[in-house]
Amino acid sequence: MLLVAVDTSGRNGSLALVRAEADVFETLAIEHLEGRMYSAQLIPALQHALDQAHLKTADLDAFAVASGPGSFTGLRVGLSTVKGLAEVTGKPIAAVSVLEAAARVTNVDSRVLVALDAGRKQSFVGDYNLQAKTGKELLLTWEQFFELAKSSNTPAFSPDLALREAAALHKLCVNEVIAPQADTFARIGYEKLIAGDVTSAELLEANYLRASDAELFSLPKLL
């Protein structure tokens, strides 16, 4: 299976072209994307990756895309691009959680907590047991995340320095983890695709975990 994976969920992103089958997983190309230039870079990055591998868009079998949580604008760009490509090629899409990808790169195969800085002293938290293939995702304040990690005695990870430093002030060790790249999204996407967990272009949506600023500020004030 030839698979393109796209992650535009954060300040910076990436695109990966991989070949996967059975126990073989080969990254043919990976392109790094600048956060505020996703809309201008995505299609050229895809073309460059295909050119490197001497392939064409028609050769692709499927797509994987980071579906959130993360940047509202970034996610919209990535999802709309993958939607367009899937509609043109007629290929399936695997929507991949950013938190699941972050949990995967911790290399913890039991219960693990991963947290991403969501702004406003809030965090996107993934509570996963990768061995049992279970998990849930939450929007918590930093303090709520710290309390969850302490009370559950579960190893916690975050790629965000500010969150790790705040945890240290609460006498909690939150381990550093590198933000997942598009090849991790491709690996998870491949597993979803062979399991039949696919999404059509029409139904593909972002998982924001919270309302956008525009939605929050448009809500009527309660007297």
Burial environment of residue 145 by CB neighbours within 10 A (0 to 12, 13 to 18, 19 or more): buried
Gyration radius of the chain over CA positions: 18
Question: CA-CA distance, 223 to 91, in Å (whole number)?
Answer: 50
Which CATH number does the domain 107-176 belong to among 3.40.50.720, 3.40.50.300, 3.40.630.10, 3.30.420.40?
3.30.420.40
Question: Which stretches of the chain drop beneath a pLDDT of 50?
Answer: 212-223
- Tell me, rounded to whole angstroms, the distance of Cα 201 from its chain centroid: 18
Q: Is residue 102 within 8 Å of residue 117, measured between CB atoms?
A: no
Q: What is the pLDDT of residue 211?
A: 61
Q: What is the pLDDT of residue 22?
A: 82
Question: CA-CA distance, 92 to 193, in Å (whole number)?
Answer: 8
Q: What is the pLDDT of residue 46?
A: 98
Question: CA-CA distance, 33 to 182, in Å (whole number)?
Answer: 10
User: Closest Cα partner for 64 from 52, 79, 53?
Assistant: 79
| Six token digits for residue 200 | 């059509």
User: Closest Cα partner for 135 from 169, 165, 171, 97?
Assistant: 97
Query: What are the residue ranges spanned by the domains of the chain?
Result: 2-98+179-212, 107-176
Q: What is the pLDDT of residue 201?
A: 93
| Six token digits for residue 129 | 């047991």
Q: Is residue 104 within 8 Å of residue 129, measured between CB atoms?
A: no
What is the CATH code of the structural domain delimited by 2-98+179-212?
3.30.420.40
Question: CA-CA distance, 146 to 165, in Å (whole number)?
Answer: 12
Q: Is residue 205 within 8 Å of residue 67, measured between CB atoms?
A: yes
Question: CA-CA distance, 127 to 64, in Å (whole number)?
Answer: 22
What is the pTM assigned to this prediction? Answer: 0.92
Question: Beta strand pairing status for 122-129 and 111-119?
Answer: antiparallel
Q: What is the pLDDT of residue 216?
A: 32
Report helix, strand or coil for 6: strand
Same CATH topology for 2-98+179-212 and 107-176: the answer is yes
